[in-house]
């Protein structure tokens, strides 16, 4: 799997790439269904509409509409002219802020948000605390898995009660582990995530 960063101002000598990334991220992060299709393409590229339909259990018209939206955002493209187009995408990275307040909107954040329509614990967390807190929850779940913090420590950093922290970190763990398995991130875990939990995420990674 070849994964490249979305263009940035430094790469193309202008602000156009950064603006395009900002617009794409803004659009994706208001629609978990679009975020989920983007994540599926990223995990399994190159892929086809029919494969997306099968993996995500979507109707053909629904898949075409969501893929079309991603194409309009210039983050999914056709890379072949065969009977059925092969689809590819870029990893979307958008840094916001500077110094200690700097955050990074990235494919893992998008995947977590995309799962909110399928995983009740994530949906409830977003409803209660918003998408910004979900991004922080992804960071703290990675910190927990790496052994940097306990679940109680994650709760303190998120400023939520411990039960909520346990619920959201457990919901996010298999998505993070799937990204490691797919080679999209290279985190090392102190706490293992069972393969059964990974298989139960709203995503399927088929390219072993």
**What does the alpha-carbon distance between residue 95 and residue 171 come to, in Å, rounded to a whole number?**
25
Domain count, the chain: 2
The reply to whether 113 and 171 lie within a common domain is yes
Q: Report pLDDT digits (tens) over 153-177.
A: 999 999 999 999 999 999 999 999 9
The reply to whether 84 and 139 lie within a common domain is no
What's the mean per-residue pLDDT of the chain? 88
The reply to whether 157 and 110 lie within a common domain is yes
- Which CATH number does the domain housing residue 55 bear? 1.10.10.10
For residue 96, tell me if it sits in a domain.
Answer: no
Return the structure tokens found at 125.
């967390």
pLDDT at 3 over 60: no
Q: What is the pLDDT of residue 105?
A: 84
Q: Report pLDDT digits (tens) over 65-110.
A: 999 999 999 899 998 766 778 999 988 887 777 776 677 789 999 9
Of 92 and 19, the structure prediction assigns the larger pLDDT to 92
pLDDT band at 2 (very low <50, low <70, confident <90, very high): very low
Question: Among 57, 89, 121, which residue terminates a domain?
Answer: 89
Q: What is the pLDDT of residue 99?
A: 73
* This prediction's pTM: 0.88
Q: Please give the residue range of the domain that contains residue 140.
A: 103-199
The reply to whether 173 and 119 lie within a common domain is yes
The reply to whether 121 and 182 lie within a common domain is yes
For residue 184, tell me if it sits in a domain.
Answer: yes
pLDDT at 200 over 70: yes
What length does the chain have? 208
The reply to whether 152 and 112 lie within a common domain is yes
For residue 180, tell me if it sits in a domain.
Answer: yes
**What does the alpha-carbon distance between residue 181 and residue 198 come to, in Å, rounded to a whole number?**
9
The reply to whether 82 and 139 lie within a common domain is no
The reply to whether 19 and 82 lie within a common domain is yes
Residue 87, class by beta-carbon neighbours within 10 Å (0-12 exposed, 13-18 middle, 19+ buried)? buried
The reply to whether 109 and 136 lie within a common domain is yes
For residue 208, tell me if it sits in a domain.
Answer: no
Q: What is the pLDDT of residue 4?
A: 39
The reply to whether 33 and 119 lie within a common domain is no
């Amino acid at each position: 799997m070849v994964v490249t960063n979305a263009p940035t101002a430094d790469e193309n000598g202008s602000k156009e790439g950064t603006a395009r990334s900002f617009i794409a991220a803004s659009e994706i992060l208001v629609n978990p269904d679009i975020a989920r299709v983007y994540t599926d393409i990223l995990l399994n590229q190159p892929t086809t509409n029919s494969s997306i339909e099968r993996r995500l259990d979507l109707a053909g018209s629904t898949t075409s509409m969501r893929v079309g939206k991603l194409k309009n955002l210039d983050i999914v493209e056709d890379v072949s002219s065969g009977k059925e187009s092969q689809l590819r995408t870029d990893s979307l990275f958008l840094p916001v802020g500077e110094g200690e307040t700097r955050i990074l909107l990235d494919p893992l954040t998008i995947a977590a948000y995309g799962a909110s329509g399928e995983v009740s614990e994530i949906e409830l967390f977003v409803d209660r605390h918003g998408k910004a807190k979900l991004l922080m929850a992804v960071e703290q779940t990675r910190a927990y898995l790496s052994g940097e913090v306990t679940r109680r420590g994650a709760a303190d950093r998120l400023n939520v009660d411990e039960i909520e922290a346990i619920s959201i970190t457990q919901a996010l763990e298999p998505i993070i582990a799937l990204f490691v398995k797919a080679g999209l991130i290279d985190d090392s875990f102190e706490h293992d995530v069972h393969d059964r939990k990974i298989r139960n995420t709203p995503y399927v990674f088929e390219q072993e």
